[in-house]
Amino acid sequence: MKFTSKSKKINKAWLHGHINDPYVKAAQKDGYRARAAYKLQEIDEELKLIRPGQVVVDLGAAPGAWSQYLRRKFAPKEAGVGGAAVGQLNGTIIALDLLDFEPIEGVHFIQGDFREDAVLKELEDTLAGRAVDLVVSDMAPNLSGITDTDAARVSLLIELALDFGQKHLTPDGALVAKVFHGAGYDDLVAQFRKTFKKVKTLKPKASRDRSSETFLIGIGLK
């Protein structure tokens, strides 16, 4: 019974914090599907990565907040009431996730596991030979709580994103990837430094303080 009571208190505290979170309130006001949109916005405002006309791949896209932000950047004069992603799209957005999400006008969605060869092939077929200007990855594995196992799962996803970037990014292209501080973090930073000319690490203000997440950004292939 003590465990149940404690769980209820934790859930109540989380719900209270979530409801009163300024980024959650902002997302509701601006029409974003999740507060995560502001993480990409902060990264973009800091590094000026997103410009109309680009080809962008959004990995781990569900529920779609990052694709929404990209969509609005590609049609800045066409945003509807509440920031709805509408109007003529100047650019290409290909979103991929294991989970389905509600369609976004002009965004090509692929449902599947990025770790599977068949899904990667579908993504490559959709690109039809076009080079990619930007890869954004909010992918995260289901965490087990076992440090070494979780570190390996995170590393695999980042390594796949790096490999995809090396094969498909333009010479000046960029990769934004969510990582977690802990086991394997330094190795991932080292891999980014081997792959890109410029590497930045950012923890947006929109990331929760208690979260160990941060974002690695690599710009310009070596």
Residue 178 is a catalytic residue: yes
Helix (H, G, I), strand (E, B) or coil at 217: strand
Distance CA 185, CA 188 (A): 5
Cα gap 136→25, rounded to integer Å = 24
Of these residues, 178, 197, 198, 200, which one is catalytic? Answer: 178
The answer to whether the Cα torsion of 38, 43, 44, 49 is positive or negative is negative
Residue 157 CA neighbour count, 13 Å, CB half: 25
Cα separation, 84 vs 72, whole angstroms: 8
Say if residue 173 is exposed, middle or buried (CB neighbours under 10 Å; 0-12, 13-18, 19+): buried
Q: Which residues are catalytic?
A: 178
